[in-house]
Amino acid sequence: MGLIELIVSQEVQAPELVKTLLDRTKTEVENDREKQGIIELLETVLLSKFSQLSRQEIEAMFLVSDIKQTRVYQEAKQEGR
């Protein structure tokens, strides 16, 4: 349900929703692979929903440690972005 809220949310609501969803993921999902998948899904939603935001603004919606674990971040880092 939270993911749907994020998809239909306004930009000003998104940071708080992302933090809530990340907290829920960390406490409710035990499998690390599933956690990573959910974090990447959240990032994908943010990247497509808020394409006008800079990478730094999107990263600010995540905890730094969470964003650095995502596949998108790792690939960008390897490409030297």
Residue 45 is encoded by which pair of tokens? 């939603």
Per-residue pLDDT at 28: 93
Quickly count: other Cβ atoms within 10 Å of residue 36's Cβ: 16
Length of the chain measured in residues: 81
Count how many domains the chain has.
1
pLDDT in tens, the chain (81 residues): 788 998 998 878 888 888 899 889 889 999 888 988 888 888 888 888 878 877 777 777 665 555 566 676 677 778 775
* Residue with the two structure tokens 């899904």: 41
- The CA-atom distances, in angstroms, between 40 and each of 43, 46, 67 are 5, 10, 9
Provide the domain limits for residue 35. Answer: 2-79
